[in-house]
Amino acid sequence: MSTLLKMENIQYEVDRKTILAIPSFSIQQGEIIGIMGPNGAGKSTLLKLLSLLDSPSEGQIFLKETVLSGQKITIDMRRKFAIALQQSLLLHTSVYQNVALGLKIRKLPKASINEKVGYWLDKFNISHLAKKHAYHLSGGEAQRVNLARAMVLEPEVLFLDEPFSALDFPTKVELLKELKEILNITNTTTVFVSHDLLEIKYLTDRLAILMNGEIQQVGKTEDVIEHPNKMTAAFINQWKEFIQ
């Protein structure tokens, strides 16, 4: 595996308070990496930095060999990434239009937009909702639209910030299964933020545990869960009681 995204000597400060301090962190091509940690650990901030939605106070981010921070970040760079958040934040228009919008902005030909949107609506089992207004969707349906809207962009990296945490358990399980299959087929490099070890265990290849703005452990997901270190044991064992 080769390194796709890399952070070095990252500091992120707000009002002189350090929110993140990450000497080194990298994401491999094609992997699904989980970022897990308690509320307020800095997971969403880390995701924003990696996806170029925000810039670090110090340090550098690389996509392969190209430095992404410390210079003007171009639209072309941002377009390599797609992001889906817990709140799907859909526009007040049809499901079809919500999924098509990103491609329209990229000025793709209409026939190509039609084909791609049709493909991803089908993949997420929402073709029948194409004409429905996004306002009238259930939570699970809205999250399917949210994921289709991200995947239709064919991103080099997909960023997911707790996309399932507002869903009921059966909906979450169904969507997790479908997403896993889609990510495996497309081989999409994915950064998956969650505070739920069940989701992490099911979906991810590697896992980074973030606590108080620092990565305390990173490794193969099963190894981190089986062998937490001194810093992560209390957090991980709390979860393990429930899933074993």
Cα separation, 37 vs 239, in Å, equals: 11
Q: Does 85 bind Mg ion (CB under 5 A)?
A: no
Minimum distance from residue 112 beta carbon to ligand ADP (Å) = 36
Burial per residue of 9-30, b for 16 or more beta-carbon CB atoms within 10 angstroms, e otherwise: ebebeeeeeebbbbeebebbeb
Count residues near Mg ion (CB under 5 A): 2
SS3 labels along 162-197:
CCCCCCCHHHHHHHHHHHHHHHHHHCCEEEEEECCH
**Residue 228 near ligand ADP by CB under 6 A:** no
39 lines the binding site for ligand ADP (CB under 6 A): yes
Print the binding letters for residues 44-83 with ligand ADP: x by CB under 6 A, - otherwise: xx--------------------------------------
Q: Is residue 23 at the binding interface for ligand ADP, with CB under 6 A as the rule?
A: no
- C-alpha–C-alpha distance, residues 101 and 149, integer Å: 8
Helix (H, G, I), strand (E, B) or coil at 123: helix
Q: Compute the least distance from the CB of residue 52 to ligand ADP, in Å.
A: 16
Residues 44-63 that bind Mg ion (CB under 5 A): 44
Residues that bind ligand ADP (CB under 6 A): 14, 19, 37, 39-45
